Chain A
């Protein structure tokens, strides 16, 4: 078969494998690899199958990329090669368009993609600070994610930003002067910390919206509901996730005085938000999202639990909305001690909405008395254990609602006189006072702990960590003044409180580098040590900034703490996307698995635990057979005996293999030093599903403010496609027939001896 390539200028040329092989060899330049021929041969073999009779240069580049990508689980080197090939594809196009960074920035401004004030910086100086070798900090999954969603595109959706230009553009949109920009660029491009996705998307651009989270409150009136619907639409448009407290909305059957009618309850109104969120797609780069929070004493709570069910009456389902419970301590206590729950209409018992702690307990008892003595029209008494079990069943089944603890959040409110904390946000890590006319906003960034390790001494590099935190506080504080606020309410909250949220990622990776198993007391202790250090550094920097720039405007001298620039500074976010860019484990979670696939907007990627692969390769233990074994064990190495005593297997325990109680202990250790909250997903083996009541009770008792998704390992899986077929064991199926036929054949040829003497020796003749 003759194969041809159509070149960019339209000419047709005979396909030459040699040319392609040379191109693959050139990817290996600078990588110190002894068996380069073998690697190139493997890639070429993959490719040979893929290349069709007629193809284009561009498609050929792409097929090379795919061929290498498919080999990634086989050895670390393929990840580096795939990254290089992808860089080549990205850069080649951009190099045809732009002479350099400055040229790109000017083009972006001219095309009204970037902010004109970027020109006020010394772009020549900044261009000279760009270090392209830092591209190699990125792994393939990280770079692919950047390419698909983060790198700036022109009006024809063609990428016009190289990865290093991206980091510099983000830094330009944050720093107040060249020195700050360079510092931020250096930290970002070395993946030492990253800003949250909206900041990475919009920094320096005309969209100019940096914040991840907004948290608002809806009052019990049609005016308020419709006004907030409008606010939510605009918050969602600019890539923010919205948390909304709906507890004030009166319950089903509650009186509407102006119409002399009865209310249809919360669900029809929640449906409005479901539709809004579904309509706004954030340009396809991210789905817009909202979570609605309800306190579980609300009379409509039972319908609320069902919102994410996929069957039943569609008018009572909200497939695009997230839900969460804002749980008071008193109700957890009742569940624990088996006392009944009472559900009320907030229109009749409005005093319960903002009360917490002992005060809530007293008011709740008063409401119960009133109910039992016939003074309330709408109420219901239910068994607290039944409710709890039903709730947990829904959580396991639909992933919703999440469980967050109202009193614990409010106990640490830095400005209780500003407002109560009415709810948390989309990812449950925000804890900022808000009110009907003040929508909380939080701007986030996360430090990559795995990049703060002194590899030689296996110690945390505390000095570097302090340096990173200092820059993060300044950068996040800068953003507050540059940010575009989609609503007046959100602007007010920021200008009053100046809240920021510094979180962490790469905790598990850091633990492996330090040689500490995640599932151990040492890791809990280290969590405490790290977070207390981060808190101290961040607070100190914020206090310094207060001297320079003034404390947050709502600060009062009567507060029991010195003036600081920001009312709150710390929040541990899930870092779902940015941990991919940083190539590390997300947030404070354990590695999901040592080999797993990840569905994202960019498609599906296979992720291997690189540290494990590296250690096994260095010790000469890595081979295809072992790789298959790890795959067959669902990405676990705990049961692979041949690794016993060769490596410390406990370092590589995966999320589901770590006891949920330990997961909670670690989250609590972080929470002790986080002024906002920790967004903690729990990973629970199907076998432990019966223990969910204990696990969530433990989370409450230990003092977590928030839990987030509950992942349950699903036991029914599809056919394992690429693994060898299961042996049928004793069952022979049609094989028996073939054996029989074969046997008969052989018996025919070996007929019994006719010689009578020999026949005596023949067993079948006897």
Chain B
């Protein structure tokens, strides 16, 4: 039995001690430990900050919230409707359904932001329809996933496997591992300037979650490839996989250029973000076994090193992200 295949509801309901894919057991445990709830963060404190943002800052914040708000449950749909039904391993199912659960938390968190900041729900959700580039970012995923949902892809055929692999690539690597990381950067820049700090504390928690989801995706893709080495014989398919990562970087850069072109917002310039996106994309490529395409060796956004080190919070001042629920 390989990681993906046709399954019935009776299958894969027993956990075994010697998991065939111990990596998914680990990822399940890590995600379990990372679980948090939006109520832990007192974002009410940020309302005054939000009101004092400049129009460009507000626009950036709103569109980031709008993009996340309409993407979290999309990610969940892709997994729930497309990928989960073809998973054959109990731990892999647990790992991916934990991810699906976490998307609820994120969605809930952005919902609380909408309410607390008194944002216009419709216009926030409509952002991904009205902004052509945001729309394209989402369509990219939707198009691929439409091909595999409701049994349209047969996981027992090579073609079906490739389609499923593509949808996970778009969902967990490109959406969660590239597009989301672009927004992380400017959220963190806000906190770096002392603004909207409690919302950003929540985004820090989302980053932890997303880096685990990214690992879910990478492990699934590598496992599918290893179990089906014939995929590797289709050079044009492999080329397309690589190209889709490169193309999404271009798409994201178009979007960033529109938002940041010629100015700095929260101390960030387009040129920095461009290098940053390329740096992140190289990491994704290398993680999948490709050679880096952009050769940006150092993360240009140096303030992000604050995310890489131990964190100490002044409890009286900012919501802490360091307690564990498990």
Contact = CB atoms under 8 A, between A and B. Distances in A.
Contacts of B325: 310, 397
A577 interface: yes
Interface string A47-85: 001111111000100110010011101000000000000
Interface stretch (B61-69, B75-83, B116-124, B282-290): B282-290
B40 interface: yes
A530 interface: no
B264 A55 contact: yes
Interface in B37-81: 37, 39-40, 42, 44-45, 48
A49 B323 contact: no
Given A281-B45, A734-B238, A721 B263 contact: no
B311 A599 contact: yes
Q: How large is the interface on B (under 10, 10 to 19, 20 to 34, 35 or more residues)?
A: 35 or more
Contacts of A725: 283, 286-287
Contact of A635 (B45, B309, B318): B309
B289 A50 contact: no
Contacts of B191: 599, 603-604
Interface stretch (B7-15, B133-141, B295-303): B295-303
B149 interface: no
A735 B263 CA distance: 39
A735 B313 CA distance: 42
A73 B309 CA distance: 12
B271 to A, nearest CB: 5
A152 B212 CA distance: 45
Q: How large is the interface on A (under 10, 10 to 19, 20 to 34, 35 or more residues)?
A: 35 or more
A737 B37 CA distance: 42
A649 interface: no
Interface in B211-255: 211-212, 214, 221-222, 225-226, 229, 231-233, 235, 238, 241-242
Nearest to B260: A52
Most buried by B among A50, A51, A241, A631: A50
B312 A596 contact: yes
Contacts, number: 219
B130 interface: no
B211 to A, nearest CB: 4
Given A50-B269, A66-B267, A397-B323, A319 B42 contact: yes
A310 B39 contact: yes
Question: Dominant SS at the B interface?
Answer: helix
B263 A733 contact: no
A631 B309 contact: yes
B42 A320 contact: yes
Nearest to B31: A716
Interface in A276-335: 278, 281, 284, 286-287, 289, 310-311, 314, 317, 319-320
B194 A602 contact: yes
A339 B298 CA distance: 60
A712 B325 CA distance: 12
B264 A63 contact: yes
Given A604-B192, A722-B302, A53 B40 contact: no
A456 interface: no
A737 B262 contact: no
Given A49-B300, A54-B263, A599-B317, A734 B309 contact: no
B289 A732 contact: yes
A71 B159 CA distance: 50
A716 B309 contact: no
A286 B313 contact: no
B34 to A, nearest CB: 5
B16 interface: no
Contacts of B322: 711, 714
Contact of B289 (A73, A577, A731): A731
B201 interface: yes
Nearest to B275: A49
7 contacts: A287-B45, A397-B325, A600-B317, A603-B191, A603-B193, A721-B307, A734-B242
Which 8 interchain pairs have the tightest Cβ spacing?
Answer: A733-B289, A735-B289, A603-B194, A70-B302, A719-B211, A597-B306, A737-B232, A53-B262
Given A599-B201, A733-B288, 11 more contacts: A49-B271, A278-B42, A319-B40, A399-B320, A599-B191, A600-B318, A604-B197, A634-B309, A709-B315, A721-B308, A728-B287
Interface of B: 30, 33-34, 36-37, 39-40, 42, 44-45, 48, 188, 191-195, 197, 201, 204, 207-208, 210-212, 214, 221-222, 225-226, 229, 231-233, 235, 238, 241-242, 262-264, 267, 269-272, 275, 283, 286-291, 298-300, 302-318, 320, 322-325
